[in-house]
A and B are shown apart, each in its own frame.
Chain A
């Protein structure tokens, strides 16, 4: 089987999310990559070095700069004439593009796969991760998105893919990019952070969240997350949200502070290697999944912990 993997990038650098998708695709067969963007040859060069990669298709066109699905989906659908599976990471970009490709190909997409069980058989979470379904496709082509935390990352060195330039129809004239507000920070991104410190509704307000959570995260070089309750209450922006409706993370260590452990939050972090919970309610559901728990007042515990580490 020949697969075509969507390379996630910002026109300068390949993003890590690509690497888990490469691993998933390699279980199906030959791995070809697609780099669609503008002035993005450097990305294709990086992508060609990923272990196990064959061809890297490079579509360099101003119309592809912001990965607008109206423009890139026809380009991908066109490439699917000589590929059997389109594989994208389940990032907001992948989720935006892949179903559009699937519909153009008249294929039913398989979203957010956790494992490859056979040529056309996969497992995927349903009901916010409360159940795992095994599904088998009957379509001639496959369109798949891959949950990044469920697959190891392919090595970024060792490959010797060949770059091949391709062209597509370019601008479909339906949509245009206006602007992006991407938070600039030295902090590791949630989906790739080794350690995450997360806060819940118990943090009271935005200022308290910052005062309590940030120093501990700084000390540990950790990414900062939050529960949906904390996001809905306006303590932090939505892109901090860990959970079924936010980001799915699986760091080495996840520290949940003042988070009760609603089902939807657990769905986003229960694959973390070690979970540490700090909560004043000893019956909070978070303690049922935590490896290490401490019951008490977070306003006393967290500053003391930060101090002593």
Chain B
């Protein structure tokens, strides 16, 4: 079985995003960029399935600017076998990303498409579900545990209030949540080896997908700022404050 792992280049999760003064977006100039953390978990899970003998090949895909190559090299250094960059400088919305991924999946015929549940830049949480719909295949979103069992995959999902387990017929789409695994760091020898692994470059038009956005962002602003209140001296003062709130 082949596993397709889409990865996105996003602002590093440790960087505090700055909104541009003109309201046109978030300033990404000279900001550290990394692989979307949920996608790292997806790459790790794919590698673990390969190590367990459940998968033979891992293909990483990224849709984005030329620099998304770095993100793909990271996936290759972690353990993916080859990569496809669908190069575009436009912002591509989840629906168009799902259409491109569908076209790639038709060529590659993976048993599982494993992707992060959401990207930490636009926080859409849509691509996996959309891809599943377009392919007419089942989806296991917010995965906590993934077990491949013959021609199906059993996914334990993080849901409000606990966990839910579903069984999906392969091929299937799985989106990863935080507790699924802890991604490995690529070792230096593997980073060197990754430079020699194959990386194909394509464009959205190669897949016949129109990436014109459906949503227009008319403004981006800072959220309302909360003011710091007062500090109290001791527990008695805190007790008085809490009682004044009428909750005790």
Contacts and interface: CB of A to CB of B under 8 A. Distances in A.
Contact of B132 (A91, A100, A305, A309): A100
Contact of A121 (B168, B169, B218): B218
A129 B226 CA distance: 13
Nearest to A10: B161
B159 interface: yes
Nearest to B133: A103
The A interface is mostly helix, strand or loop, or mixed, namely: mixed
B238 A127 contact: no
Given A121-B218, A134-B219, A239-B160, A96 B139 contact: yes
A139 B214 contact: yes
A291 B145 CA distance: 39
Contact of B138 (A121, A132, A174, A195): A174
Given A70-B139, A106-B95, A109-B124, A133 B219 contact: yes
B33 to A, nearest CB: 13
B19 interface: yes
B160 A91 contact: yes
A176 B229 contact: no
Contacts of A69: 129, 132, 139, 141
Given A102-B126, A109-B126, A289-B228, A174 B168 contact: yes
Contacts of A263: 16
A138 B216 contact: yes
In this complex, which of B126, B167, B220 has the most chain A Cβ atoms within 10 angstroms of its Cβ?
Answer: B126
A174 B155 CA distance: 13
B133 A100 contact: yes
Interface string B161-185: 1111111110000000111000000
Contacts of B160: 91-93, 189, 191, 239, 247
Given A70-B139, A130-B17, A245-B178, A99 B169 contact: no
Give the interface residue-count category, chain A.
35 or more
B121 A182 contact: no
A87 interface: no
B217 A134 contact: yes
Contacts of B17: 127, 130-131
Interface string A94-122: 01111111111011111110000000010
A68 interface: yes
Contacts of B215: 108, 110, 135-138
Chain B interface helix/strand/loop/mixed: mixed
Contact of B139 (A100, A182, A239): A100
Interface stretch (B51-59, B74-82, B200-208, B240-248): B240-248
B150 interface: no
Contacts of B157: 92
Interface in B221-248: 221-223, 226, 228-232, 234-239, 241-243, 245, 247-248
B161 to A, nearest CB: 5
Nearest to B157: A92
Interface in B130-166: 130-134, 136-139, 141-142, 144, 154, 157-166
A76 B119 CA distance: 26
Contacts of B228: 287-290, 293
B118 to A, nearest CB: 9
A39 B50 CA distance: 42
A187 B155 CA distance: 28
Given A110-B215, A181-B163, A292-B229, A220 B220 contact: no
B35 to A, nearest CB: 16
A290 B238 CA distance: 13
Contact of B166 (A68, A239, A290): A68
Given A109-B130, A125-B123, 7 more contacts: A92-B142, A173-B169, A176-B166, A178-B165, A189-B160, A231-B179, A264-B13
Interface of A: 66, 68-70, 73, 91-93, 95-104, 106-112, 121, 125-139, 173-183, 189, 191, 194-195, 219-220, 228, 231-232, 237-239, 244-245, 247, 252-253, 263-264, 270, 274-276, 278, 282, 287-295, 301, 304-305, 308-309
27 contacts: A70-B138, A93-B160, A99-B94, A102-B130, A103-B98, A103-B131, A107-B95, A108-B93, A111-B124, A126-B26, A127-B120, A128-B123, A130-B16, A130-B17, A135-B218, A137-B215, A175-B168, A178-B154, A182-B161, A219-B248, A231-B179, A232-B178, A238-B179, A270-B226, A275-B226, A288-B226, A308-B239
